[in-house]
Amino acid sequence: MKILGGRLVERYIVAAILPYLGLSLLLLTFVILAQQAGKFVEILGSADPSLEVVADIALGLIPNILIFTLPMSVLIGTATGLSKLGSDSELIAMRAAGVGTWRFVSPVLLLGFVFTLVTLYIGFEIAPKASSLLRDAALKVTLSKIESPIQPHTFNTEMPGKVVYVRDGDQARGQWGRVFIHWQDGDRELRLITARNGRLDVTGEQTELVLTDAVVTTLPSREGKQSPNPAQSAQIVTESSAQFRLRLNTGRNALLKKFQERRIEIDELDWRELLVKARSAEGADRITLLTAFNKRLALCIAPLAFALLGAGFGGRMKRLGRGQAVLISIGAMLLYYLVLLGGEHLSRSGAVPPQIGSWLATALATAVGLISLLINERNVSGGIHLRLLTSATNSGYPKVARARNSILLGLLDRSLLQAVFYNFVLAYISLLLIFLIFTLFELLRFISSSEWRLVLLYLLYLIPLASMSLVPIGLLVAVLVTYAILARRNEVVVWWASGQSLYRLSLPTVFFSLLISVALGLLQENVLPQANRRQESYRAQIRGGLNRAMTPTGVQWLSVPDSQRLYSYKYGNDGQALLTPVVYEFDSEGIHLKRLLSGEEGKWRGNNELEFKGAEITEIGKTKMGSLSRVEKYIITETASAQSFKPLLNKPSELNSRVLSEYIISLKNVRPDEIIGLRIALYRRSADIATPIILALIGIPFGVFFGRRSAFWALGTAIIIGLLLWGSANAFQQLGNYRLLPAALAAWATPLIFTALGLLLFSRART
């Protein structure tokens, strides 16, 4: 009885919960942060932000993630920790020693209360500031991007009425060479501007493009037709200028005004500001503000409700394992957020007051927790001893006999494969459910009552993409947990004593990781491209009510450097013709225009020959200025292939490796600067497939080493390794994008480093 005196029982219960709570918090935060990686790309775009801006974006995301992960980790940690005490019969021992239900629950509630205070502080003080910081960082990135909107070897079509293309230049210094501008506002006359050099001049709120050795060619435009050719040569006007200044409407003024007069969003308001605005607002605005306040407050109180719910679950799951406790907890969280979503919709529609709709989920979790505790009070003991005896009987000789009858698998292989497979399925399902839950919650404001079918389809087609990221991490967790438990129970010592080395112990797991890699390869090549197209389509419909095309529409632009030509055209729906094509042909230096060629239609013939139907040829050079000729058919020979003229696909994830490789080859000569990212994406595919094997090589020695201390250390190591792997892969990819590393090395640097680490650990492991 002495060991149960004082506060030792309470400390023991808290000590049993905290490792799982901390582990859940780290793992959940990591998974959701990985899920939010797309938001980094969306915010940063193609800009080159400073480290300060990147840090602001990271700091803006993490507090808003913690509002969700803190309550979730309390539920998982409480249910898992208490189920461990129950499965080890420690709860029965405590109750037999006179520890009542409420003494057993009091440390759990105290833990929930502490995390509630932390979540309240984050939700109402830190998260609003973080949201404001995130939006300011996004505006800064956008502002820095439009201050230098022109990139060499890239068509800029973002400025109204203008298409700008620069062949040479230094973006960092803001200097460009061989500039081409296609300038037309509506049905006005068309201006084609060429210049030897150019630079941006940003003064106050104005942005001007200063051109030297410029030539401005003005042509009439015929309504309803893309062709710029005039009906009479006299209508062509050419002006030369040593310096030409062109004001660019980059949207900088509007953005500066938006930055200075930005309206504060609801998620940027703390609790005082929310209440003040709610009191002064009326009608729908008042309901929206009250709903936001009560929803945020309910989420911040959720740790206390989840602690109560976890205590009820943990007491009832003493006959189950910790894996079942995790799955049941994740299922409870999914139900909680669905009820929270429904309550929020009821509040916004005015069906119920915000004070009721926003609190439905938290009240339900509290009620279920209380009911579970009352039931546990009446069922203190059960048939656990009988079950353990039956389990021991059923898991003894018959399994050994089955193992001996197996030709290919012995007892060691079967037991390791079963353990790794079970832990992998548990980890993967848990991570996937968390990923989908947060994705669903992120789409709440876009979902109406009639769009739930689209939401379910979107989540279904999102699973392959999520699996490519979560399966390797799930395998790492499974390997570390399996071998940590073997080491913790000294089973590895028994196997070593029987002559089995660590290398022999690793064979079943390496074989399993090889199967996982093969499955990922098949998924990536045969399922992922189609699934990504479908999920992008459904996401576009949910967010904007539109089914956006997967390929660009409208006028396409293409540069062919070797032939000194630029093309503009519309790509035919049949994929066989160019509609209303126009060819802008330059002089030998590639600076000024000398000829325009247009047609009603362009079709490819053999040997890279492009045939124009209904062609019009306009000479702009000094010798034949304005001369016009028309022919029924005109053929030009081009160094680029027909594949190069297809619309640029910005998402390589929607192509399999064969198609992506062919696409890169077709772009090699015409868009060399745009294929860097595509090359890295292609190389990363093979690297991603090899990742499960690499993580298995790392996880086995780490699991054996840390397992001698605690399985918690092994799981914590899995999270750290996952973070390092994810961060390293993205860092090397950015180095590749900046052309500081070759594409192959940028994709394979992280796998090579971690492979070397795994082999080093194996070589130094004692067996």
Where do the structural domains in the chain lie, given as residue ranges? 1-148+253-395, 162-252, 460-550+649-767, 555-645
How confident is the model at residue 389, as a pLDDT? 33
Query: Which residues are CB-neighbours of 721 under 8 A, at least 6 positions away?
Result: 476, 695, 698, 699, 702
Measured CA to CA in angstroms, residue 236 lies from 180, 216, 408, 578 at distances of 18, 10, 83, 26
- The DSSP output letter for 247 is E
Task: Using the structure block, give the residue that is written with the tokens 């399985």.
Answer: 711
Query: Which residues are CB-neighbours of 430 under 8 A, at least 6 positions away?
Result: 326, 327, 330
Say whether 156 sits in a helix, a strand or coil.
strand
How confident is the model at residue 224, as a pLDDT? 38
Say whether 556 sits in a helix, a strand or coil.
strand
Task: Using the structure block, give the residue that is written with the tokens 């021991």.
Answer: 392
List, as one string, the DSSP characters of 581-648. Answer: EEEEEE-TTSSSEEEEEE-SEEEEETTTEEEEEEEEEEE-SSTTTT-EEEEEEEEEE-SS-GGGGSPP
Dmax over CA atoms of the chain, in Å, equals 109
As beta bridge partners, residue 434 has none
pLDDT in tens, 627-650: 778 888 888 888 777 767 776 555
Task: Using the structure block, give the residue that is written with the tokens 């509290």.
Answer: 366
pLDDT at 547 over 50: no
For residues 601 and 318, the model is more confident at 601
pLDDT in tens, 105-152: 888 889 999 999 999 999 888 888 888 777 777 666 666 655 555 667
The pLDDT confidence band at residue 549, using thresholds 50, 70 and 90, is very low
- The DSSP output letter for 268 is G
Average pLDDT, the chain: 75
pLDDT at 382 over 80: no
b/e per residue 190-213 (b: at least 16 CB within 10 A): bbbbbbbbbbbeeeeeebebebeb
pLDDT at 746 over 60: yes
3-state helix, strand, coil in the chain (%, to 5): 65, 15, 20
Most confident of 186-190, 560-564, 732-736, 744-748: 744-748
Say whether 468 sits in a helix, a strand or coil.
helix
pLDDT at 381 over 60: no
User: Do the Cβ atoms of 585 and 593 come closer than 8 Å?
Assistant: yes
**Mean pLDDT (whole number) for 661-674:** 68
Q: What is the four-CA torsion angle of 723, 725, 731, 734, rounded to 10 degrees?
A: -120
The CA distance from 246 to 211, in Å, is 8
User: Do the Cβ atoms of 162 and 182 come closer than 8 Å?
Assistant: yes
How confident is the model at residue 59, as a pLDDT? 76
The CA distance from 81 to 17, in Å, is 4
Query: Which residues are CB-neighbours of 371 under 8 A, at least 6 positions away?
Result: 312
Helix axes 676-707, 743-764, angle to 10 degrees: 10
pLDDT at 270 over 70: yes
**Mean pLDDT (whole number) for 528-556:** 63
How confident is the model at residue 375, as a pLDDT? 76
**Mean pLDDT (whole number) for 554-574:** 76
For residues 363 and 27, the model is more confident at 363
The CA distance from 547 to 691, in Å, is 35
pLDDT at 153 over 50: yes
For the stretch 665-672, contacts whose Cβ atoms lie closer than 8 Å and that sit 24 or more positions apart, written own/partner, are 666/640, 666/641, 669/560, 669/561, 669/562, 669/639, 669/640, 669/644, 670/558, 670/559, 670/560, 670/561, 670/640, 670/644, 671/153, 671/558, 671/559, 671/644, 672/153
Beta carbons within 10 angstroms of residue 574's beta carbon: 6
Beta carbons within 10 angstroms of residue 21's beta carbon: 24
User: Do the Cβ atoms of 482 and 413 come closer than 8 Å?
Assistant: no
pLDDT at 695 over 60: yes
pLDDT in tens, 463-489: 998 888 889 888 888 888 888 778 777
pLDDT at 514 over 90: yes
Measured CA to CA in angstroms, residue 168 lies from 48, 242, 530 at distances of 19, 19, 38
pLDDT at 519 over 90: yes
pLDDT at 683 over 80: yes
pLDDT in tens, 323-365: 567 767 777 877 888 788 788 878 877 788 888 888 998 899 8
For residues 238 and 391, the model is more confident at 238
Q: How many CA atoms, within 13 angstroms, populate the side-chain half-sphere of residue 61?
A: 20
**Mean pLDDT (whole number) for 258-267:** 66
How confident is the model at residue 386, as a pLDDT? 36
Q: What is the four-CA torsion angle of 261, 267, 272, 274, rounded to 10 degrees?
A: 90
What strand order describes the sheet that includes 237-247? Answer: 162-170, 175-183, 190-203, 206-219, 237-247
The CA distance from 114 to 107, in Å, is 11
Q: Report strand pairing: 555-560 vs 565-571.
A: antiparallel
**Mean pLDDT (whole number) for 261-276:** 76
- Percentage with pLDDT > 70 across the chain: 72
**Mean pLDDT (whole number) for 679-699:** 87
- Amino acid identity of 208? E
pLDDT at 458 over 70: yes
The CA distance from 358 to 296, in Å, is 9
The pLDDT confidence band at residue 520, using thresholds 50, 70 and 90, is very high
How confident is the model at residue 673, as a pLDDT? 62
Closest-CA residue to 749 (of 695, 653, 684, 681): 684
How confident is the model at residue 171, as a pLDDT? 61
pLDDT in tens, 3-24: 444 577 788 888 888 888 887 8
Cα-Cα end-to-end distance for the chain? 42
**Mean pLDDT (whole number) for 275-303:** 85
pLDDT at 307 over 70: yes
- Lookup: tokens for 382: 């059960």
Phi first, then psi: give them for residue 127, nearest 5 degrees.
-60, -40
List, as one string, the DSSP characters of 164-219. Answer: EEEEEEETTTTEEEEEEEEE--TTS-EEEEEEEEEEEEEETTEEEEEEEEEEEEEE
How buried is 137 (Cβ within 10 angstroms: 0-12 exposed, 13-18 middle, 19+ buried)?
Answer: buried
How confident is the model at residue 395, as a pLDDT? 37
Residue 206 CA, chain-centre distance (Å), reads 36
How confident is the model at residue 551, as a pLDDT? 33
pLDDT in tens, 71-94: 988 988 888 888 777 766 777 777
Task: Using the structure block, give the residue that is written with the tokens 């974006």.
Answer: 57
How confident is the model at residue 517, as a pLDDT? 93
